[in-house]
Amino acid sequence: MNLVRSCVYAAAFYGSVFILSFLMLPTLLLSSDNARIFYRWWARLSANLIRYILRIDYRIEVEEGAALPEGAALVACKHQSAWETLVSYEFLADPAFVLKKELTQIPVFGTYLIKSKQISVDRAAGSKALRGMIADVQHRIEEGRTVVIYPQGTRVKLGVKAPYQPGIAALYRGVNVPVVPIALDSGKFWPRNSFMKKPGIITVRVLKPIEPGMTRSEFLRVLEARIEKACGEIDQNK
């Protein structure tokens, strides 16, 4: 049954991306603010395909002293699958994602990413890319948007350890706003690089923000410890 669901979902998802990519071309003539209304609708349609075809839903847990961001904020989210890139639009306010530049070069789809003011990073450009990322994140924060970055830089398979990258520490110091860590277990139901998905309830846990003032190394240590501890607790509770 999981294979059937996964096949139906793949057909529905890629079919909708193909059709909507062309139906929504007129939005490129709109202002970025107005165009993003349509893009959020698109993302929520994708989230509903996941919910009703794959039978994957989620619950939000908010740690004591924490809060789900509703506007300008910097979020460091665990990244285990494509699920969080699609469904985050349901529980975060107008998110802007830090993503690799290659995604903006995908025909048509990449143009929508640029129009919606996502934050692309050329990972081959070194320190120049880092300075540009900090400036772009600062602009999105000033616009009142929630900026999402995946601190390990890529999807990490459930149970696998991977280093937390220095880019999030540079943002923490450069933008000088609290960082809200988010832990989750999406990889349990949507494994990395796997076609097969299985039904279940993903837990998304919002952790207490890390206030400005730490050194880069201290911040990275605290961020990793909090997120990994929470992911371990989520796994043990199921």
H-helix or E-strand spanning residue 57:
strand 56-62
What is the rounded distance in angstroms from the CA atom of residue 1 to the CA atom of residue 55?
Answer: 11
Say if residues 233 and 61 touch (Cβ distance below 8 Å): no
Tell me the pTM.
Answer: 0.92
What is the rounded distance in angstroms from the CA atom of residue 49 to the CA atom of residue 45?
Answer: 6
- Hey, what domains does the chain have and what are their CATH numbers? 2-236 (3.40.1130)
pLDDT at 24: 86
pLDDT at 238: 60
Q: What is the pLDDT of residues 94-120, one digit of tens each?
A: 899 998 889 888 888 888 899 999 998
Question: One-letter amino acid identity for 42?
Answer: W
Among residues 80, 159, 167, 69, the alpha carbon closest in space to that of 123 is found at: 167
